[in-house]
Amino acid sequence: MKFLLVAIIMISSAIAVCQQGAENAALAIVDAHKISFTAPARHVPTDKMPDAPLLGNGDIGVAIAGAPDSLSFYIGKNDFWGVRTAAPMTVGKIQLVVPTLAGATYAATCDMRRAVWNGTFANGKYALNIRSWVDANGNHIFIEIKNTGSLPVEVSANTILGDKLIDHGGLYNPDEGKANARKVGLASALLQSNGNTMKLAPQARTVFAVALFSDVDASDPLKKAQSELSSLTQKKADGLFVAHQAWWEKFWKRSFIEIPDKVIEEHWYSTQYIMASCSRAGKIAPGLWGNWITSNNTAWHGDYHLNYNFQAPYYSPYSSNHVEISSPYYEAVNNMIPFGDTLAKQHGWKGVFLPVSMGPWGTSPEGPDSHWGQHSNAVFAALPFIWHYQYTQDTAWLRKTGYAYMREVEKFWTDYLTFENGRYVIEHDAIHEGSGGAGRSGISEDMNPILTLGLVKTLYTSMLAMSEDLGVDAALRSKWKEIIEKLSPFPTQERNGKTVFRYTEKGTAWWGDNTLGIQHIFPAGAIGLDSDPKLLEISHNMIDAMARWKDNNGSSSWYTACARVNYQPEKILAELRSMYDKHSMPNKILYFGGGGIENASPSLAINEMLLQSHEGVIRFFPCWPQNLDARFGSLRAVGAFIVSAEMKSGLVQHVTIVSEKGKPLTIVNPWKANKVQVYRNGKKAEMLSGERVRMTTSAKERIQLQPL
């Protein structure tokens, strides 16, 4: 008995050490990926995505541009939208003027682990080190300036609010007099000076602080900003920085990956960094360009494009175990319900019907007619709701936040689908914007577009699980099951001697760019490794035929779709690396003809290559080259499981699964014919065998698996 107790204590201690080791590994890996900049940003200001170093706290964003003698810190805020422009607007900028640094050397890094920008600038005996950060826990921007040269340096800090130079604070209301006009209040100061200019002696340090609030944050945003700033001291600022670092440390400890290709690995971490910097629970969701708005004429209104752009940045957080990042998305979409209900009624339909272009608070920047013949926008917008429930099994969230919108989407499709010749058909739904003769607001002749078929199938499958969990709508389930069973199959065609998918059953057959031809695989989730082998074969043929490895609008979905059906892992990695090498801006955001923060999403393919849980079946390294070592920690799987594992010398090891909600667990045996020894909370438990391993779990239970 004494020996058994000692053994249990040793195993439990090993689990705790393992967890601590994983968290330390996460910090060490991201710490190695500091993004370097050797020259000022070239494309700031811009109407699209800046190529500058980026900082943010999920609400306030800062893009840093300019030469050392005139650095500019452009400020954006997710809730600062113009009424006249129907687009997010730039708040303004902070400009540091240092004449003695004209022609100075430029060296800067973005430290993702700490969410800090560090710049070092030298011009002979004149030199400055500048550190900037956006407070993770509050509405502050800090710019710390230290004289590292041997001569005094004069520094001026100018605050420009909108297009006006202000002294220490001001209120900016570009749409004054308009209904629903937004306004921001900003206060700024050098903490060691009464003015905006001071002379720094060698080794001296000063801090320029900004407090920024909108009328969404406070009824009197300027008064709030001035109050915040008046209480700031150097000591308090230092304390805020400690808390800021603690926030980011906790964030990074939630998950990690480690793979041989360090460029791809760096982009995985930059994805997490970008999304945590521009999206935060309790704040307004970011538009196309995040919170890094550097002009008042943003492309495509900087809006919420619902035919993939708004959803795409949120592809990655679920399996990366940062579900909380997606919280603003649900509020934004739920706010669209009244608009969508009204629009559906105008067309004679039930439920919600949404155009392509939407904005915060249920606004529509391009108006209700901007649907481009597409009926799939609302169901496409349902995907993050579906993923949240699948990955968290959070019934309380579903009841409060998720189900109402899902039900509205279901109402639309149950009403809109037509039943012809024993099957359900989707009529007049454009696969591409305006395809099938629809134009901006007309009727498309496209029938059974492949993406919408996938989305509708996933919608009804999800409604069954959700309604059963909530104990509601039981009378509707037989209809939903019938629709799933009798929904038209994916259309196919012959191309270059192989069967591939057709974009629609009637109408548009093929398209020369974009990736809609595989989006029924991902993000729609209608095909996976448990699908009919014939469908998987056609999926591979389709990938070969499309070959959209570098596409203006497709990178967010293409690579993950390839991984989902286990398409040539070596090819995926090689093409992913090539894309990063050729299309990455210095800040690690991908640049194509369109897109913005959506282009943080291709790294999700790595998650899918290392771990899949499609349809609730966990697979370890399902699309990973056997000759490449890799490991991951605390990735999230469907069923509310937190999963860690390693592949070393072609063997899967160190498999640990934490069950958050006590759901049944199904795993494809990573050791194939070998029996599997199960440990529950450090105690030796049952032994299982077979190609698939199934077991019950308890909430908060930690399961470890070992081959025998």
Helix (H) or strand (E) holding 707: strand 701-707
Q: Which segments of 297-403 are extended strands (E)?
A: 304-305, 357-358
Integer angstrom CA distances of residue 252 from 22, 35, 307, 426, 634: 11, 16, 31, 44, 11
The mean pLDDT value for 71-78 works out to 99
pLDDT in tens, 306-319: 999 999 999 999 99
Rounded CA-CA distance 546/516 in Å is: 10
pLDDT at 701 over 60: yes
| Average of per-residue pLDDT values in the chain | 96
Q: Quick one: DSSP state of residue 7?
A: H
pLDDT in tens, 203-244: 999 999 999 999 999 999 999 999 999 999 999 999 999 999
pLDDT in tens, 376-393: 999 999 999 999 999 999
The mean pLDDT value for 552-561 works out to 96
pLDDT value for 179 = 87
Rounded CA-CA distance 575/94 in Å is: 40
Three-class SS state of 388: helix
Nearest CA-CA partner of 312 in 576, 548, 553: 553
pLDDT value for 195 = 86
pLDDT value for 6 = 40
pLDDT at 15 over 80: no
In DSSP terms, 117 is beta-bridged to 110, 132
pLDDT value for 192 = 83
Output the DSSP codes for 631-699.
EEEEEEETTTEEEEEEEETTEEEEEEEEESS---EEEE-TTTTS-EEEEETTEEEEEE-SSEEEE---T
Confidence of residue 122 (pLDDT cuts 50, 70, 90): very high
Which tokens belong to 325?
């990042």
Confidence of residue 593 (pLDDT cuts 50, 70, 90): confident
Three-state secondary structure of 139-179: CEEEEEEEECCCCCEEEEEEEEECCEEECCEEEECCCCCCC
Integer angstrom CA distances of residue 496 from 131, 499, 541: 57, 8, 10
Q: Compute how many other C-beta atoms are within 10 angstroms of the C-beta atom of residue 629.
A: 15
Confidence of residue 23 (pLDDT cuts 50, 70, 90): confident
pLDDT at 4 over 50: no
End-to-end CA distance of the chain: 25
Q: Compute how many other C-beta atoms are within 10 angstroms of the C-beta atom of residue 222.
A: 20
Confidence of residue 193 (pLDDT cuts 50, 70, 90): confident
% helix / strand / coil in the chain, to the nearest 5? Answer: 35, 25, 40
pLDDT value for 3 = 38
Confidence of residue 582 (pLDDT cuts 50, 70, 90): very high
Domains of the chain: 2-23+626-707 (2.60.40), 32-253 (2.70.98.50), 257-291+298-620 (1.50.10.10)
pLDDT value for 194 = 82
Nearest CA-CA partner of 327 in 397, 272, 262, 257: 397
**Least confidently predicted of 188-197, 379-388, 417-426, 659-668:** 188-197
Instruction: Judge contact between 132 and 71, C-beta under 8 A.
Output: no
Rounded CA-CA distance 195/345 in Å is: 59
Rounded CA-CA distance 144/128 in Å is: 10
Three-class SS state of 501: strand
pLDDT at 332 over 90: yes
Integer angstrom CA distances of residue 113 from 27, 133, 236, 589: 7, 12, 22, 17
Nearest CA-CA partner of 78 in 347, 320, 284: 284
pLDDT value for 12 = 46
Rounded CA-CA distance 552/513 in Å is: 8
Rounded CA-CA distance 652/663 in Å is: 24
Integer angstrom CA distances of residue 343 from 230, 365, 600, 617: 48, 15, 32, 39
Which tokens belong to 663?
């759901």
Instruction: Judge contact between 206 and 190, C-beta under 8 A.
Output: yes
Q: What is the total residue count of the chain?
A: 708
Instruction: Judge contact between 165 and 61, C-beta under 8 A.
Output: no
Rounded CA-CA distance 521/564 in Å is: 7
Rounded CA-CA distance 179/150 in Å is: 55
Confidence of residue 528 (pLDDT cuts 50, 70, 90): very high
Three-class SS state of 211: strand
b/e for 253-283, b at 16 or more Cβ within 10 A? bbbbbbbebeebbbbbbbbbbbbbbbbbeeb
Per cent of the chain over pLDDT 90 is: 94
Rounded CA-CA distance 266/256 in Å is: 11
pLDDT at 18 over 60: no
Instruction: Judge contact between 637 and 618, C-beta under 8 A.
Output: yes
Instruction: Judge contact between 625 and 573, C-beta under 8 A.
Output: yes
pLDDT value for 2 = 44
Residue 467 phi/psi, 5-degree rounding, is -65, -35
Contacts of 539 (CB under 8 A, 6+ apart): 501, 518, 521, 527, 565, 567
Per cent of the chain over pLDDT 70 is: 97
Confidence of residue 637 (pLDDT cuts 50, 70, 90): very high
Q: What is the pTM assigned to this prediction?
A: 0.96
Nearest CA-CA partner of 374 in 412, 329, 404, 333: 412
pLDDT value for 19 = 58
pLDDT value for 167 = 83
Confidence of residue 432 (pLDDT cuts 50, 70, 90): very high
